[in-house]
Copies of this chain bind each other. A is one copy, B any other.
Amino acid sequence: MDGEISFVTSGTVTTPKGFLAGATYAGLKKKAGGVLDLAILSAKVPCAGAALFTTNRIKAAPVVLSRQRLQSGKVSAIVVNSGYANACVGEVGLGDAAEMANLAARNLGVSPEAVLVASTGVIGKRLPMGLIKTGIKRIKVSRGGGHKLARAIMTTDTIPKEAAVAVSANGGEFVIGGTVKGSGMLHPNLATFLCFLTTDAAAGPDFLKHALRRAADVSFNMVSIDGDTSTNDMALIMADGMADGERTISPGSRQAEAFQAALNQLCIHLAKSIARDGEGASRLIEVNVSGASSFADAGLVARTIAGSPLVKTAVHGNDPNWGRIIAAAGRSGVEVMESRIDLSIGGICLVKAGCPVSFDEADVVRALGGSEVAINLELNLGTAKATAWGCDLSGEYVAINSEYTT
């Protein structure tokens, strides 16, 4: 049936037709032994491309370079390293990023102008260009290389994050694949949020940009709390149009709707995998806010709750201290009415019309102890709703971030 969406088994960023990837250990990360730290994602044919970049005023050199090159709406490949952010190193950073793109272009035999760059790692240290140069020469891209790329972009992530969805369309199907990294979940932070999406659907850069923004609003932006936005954040989507019988997607069409639905589903899946792998996290927290006056209101309340250190520590300790959830809603900046609020955790109602109801504390403790904790808040002010994801805050998070460079 047209528009049917299914996850592809072991799907990666190279599952869509025409995409290739490869990676190597260049010596940028401290740990060796099976570790990868430099990768290339490329397409057999020039792609339409669109991206979202960090809103941080301080932008890493790869972000500056990639944003400039993407103005053409065309892209053939991206080269990415972990270990060094190539941020805050002065003017040399831009030259180093351009040189990375040149080296990758030579490896692939494409125009340097069609190659983007992404970096993640420590800020303020210059890229070791000697290692980058020999590393890029060594990379061989292949159809099966997607999983290697997913591993090469990891920093404090404990598992690679990747998936692909297939969508039936016009009697055939198109596929969207993607991989993300980012496990500083308190905020997709200096560990950086990177996202690479590919599709063999045919679409123009403007459509892709619009679709990517809409998908990010219900996925990555609902994990990214008010925290440490990295200098290097980037989400890129590339479309090569190589699916059988593909016509270029026209905005507003049924095919466009199917594409958006699939992209949303894939991005939500990847966003949840980020929250679940949050630094030091043991639990995924899902906050569903309903009955808001607008989607913006619902989203703000949901994100504020999911990002509250007090809520996160309470979940970590299986502590049914629900007042912290209500208080977070109250300070979100959204007009809420205490006397209308209903709250439940793991399906157990704790507050009805703003008043505490009696509940079995042991049941709530058990709900908080599961691997996924659902917090449902009904504002009873309107019909808009939104979902945000977070994770618990543990002593382990502190340990990880106290010992990052040293």
Q: Verify A323–B57 contact, CB threshold 8 A.
A: no
Chain A 393-406 interface mask (CB, 8 Å, partner B; 1/0): 11101110111111
A330 contacts partner chain B, Cβ-Cβ < 8 Å: yes
Q: Verify A330–B56 contact, CB threshold 8 A.
A: yes
A168 contacts partner chain B, Cβ-Cβ < 8 Å: no
Q: Dominant SS at the A interface?
A: loop
Partner of A326, one of B88, B324, B338, B354: B88
Q: Verify B186–A321 contact, CB threshold 8 A.
A: no
- With a cutoff of 8 Å between Cβ atoms, the chain B residues found around residue A317 in the complex are 401-404, 406
- Smallest distance from the beta carbon of A6 to chain B beta carbons, Å? 38
- Smallest distance from the beta carbon of A276 to chain B beta carbons, Å? 19
A316-358 residues at the B interface, CB under 8 angstroms: 316-324, 326-332, 334-336, 338-339, 351, 354-356
A309 contacts partner chain B, Cβ-Cβ < 8 Å: yes
- With a cutoff of 8 Å between Cβ atoms, the chain B residues found around residue A318 in the complex are 406
Question: Copies of this chain, how many?
Answer: 2
Q: Which of A214-222, A227-235, A249-257, A284-292 contacts B (4 or more CB under 8 A)?
A: A227-235
- With a cutoff of 8 Å between Cβ atoms, the chain B residues found around residue A401 in the complex are 309-310, 313-314, 317
Q: Verify B310–A189 contact, CB threshold 8 A.
A: yes
Q: CA of A406 to CA of B316 in the docked complex: distance in angstroms?
A: 12
A184 contacts partner chain B, Cβ-Cβ < 8 Å: yes
A71 contacts partner chain B, Cβ-Cβ < 8 Å: no
A236 contacts partner chain B, Cβ-Cβ < 8 Å: no
Q: CA of A398 to CA of B402 in the docked complex: distance in angstroms?
A: 14
Partner of A356, one of B89, B330, B334: B89
Chain A 286-310 interface mask (CB, 8 Å, partner B; 1/0): 0000000000000000000000111
Q: Verify B310–A184 contact, CB threshold 8 A.
A: yes
Closest to A191 in B: B310
Q: Verify B316–A398 contact, CB threshold 8 A.
A: yes
Q: If the complex has contacts A402-B319, A403-B319, are A324 and B88 also in contact, measured as CB distance less than 8 A?
A: no
Q: CA of A228 to CA of B324 in the docked complex: distance in angstroms?
A: 8
Q: Verify B335–A57 contact, CB threshold 8 A.
A: yes
- With a cutoff of 8 Å between Cβ atoms, the chain B residues found around residue A356 in the complex are 88-90, 124-125
Chain A 59-103 interface mask (CB, 8 Å, partner B; 1/0): 100000000000000000000000001011110000000000000
- With a cutoff of 8 Å between Cβ atoms, the chain B residues found around residue A329 in the complex are 57-58
A122 contacts partner chain B, Cβ-Cβ < 8 Å: yes
Chain A 352-372 interface mask (CB, 8 Å, partner B; 1/0): 001110000000010000000
Q: If the complex has contacts A395-B398, A401-B314, are A227 and B323 also in contact, measured as CB distance less than 8 A?
A: no
- Smallest distance from the beta carbon of A297 to chain B beta carbons, Å? 12
Q: CA of A87 to CA of B318 in the docked complex: distance in angstroms?
A: 22
Q: CA of A39 to CA of B59 in the docked complex: distance in angstroms?
A: 52
A55 contacts partner chain B, Cβ-Cβ < 8 Å: yes
Q: CA of A397 to CA of B317 in the docked complex: distance in angstroms?
A: 12
- Smallest distance from the beta carbon of A346 to chain B beta carbons, Å? 16
A190 contacts partner chain B, Cβ-Cβ < 8 Å: yes
- Smallest distance from the beta carbon of A54 to chain B beta carbons, Å? 8
- Smallest distance from the beta carbon of A129 to chain B beta carbons, Å? 16
A187 contacts partner chain B, Cβ-Cβ < 8 Å: yes
Closest to A125 in B: B356
30 A-B contact pairs sorted by A residue (CB < 8 Å): A55-B331, A57-B329, A58-B326, A58-B327, A58-B330, A58-B331, A58-B336, A58-B338, A88-B351, A90-B339, A90-B354, A123-B322, A123-B327, A124-B351, A189-B310, A190-B324, A190-B327, A228-B310, A229-B330, A229-B331, A230-B327, A314-B402, A314-B404, A317-B402, A319-B402, A320-B405, A365-B406, A393-B398, A395-B398, A398-B398
Instruction: Name the 3 nearest CB pairs between A and B, nearest first.
Output: A123-B323, A317-B402, A58-B330
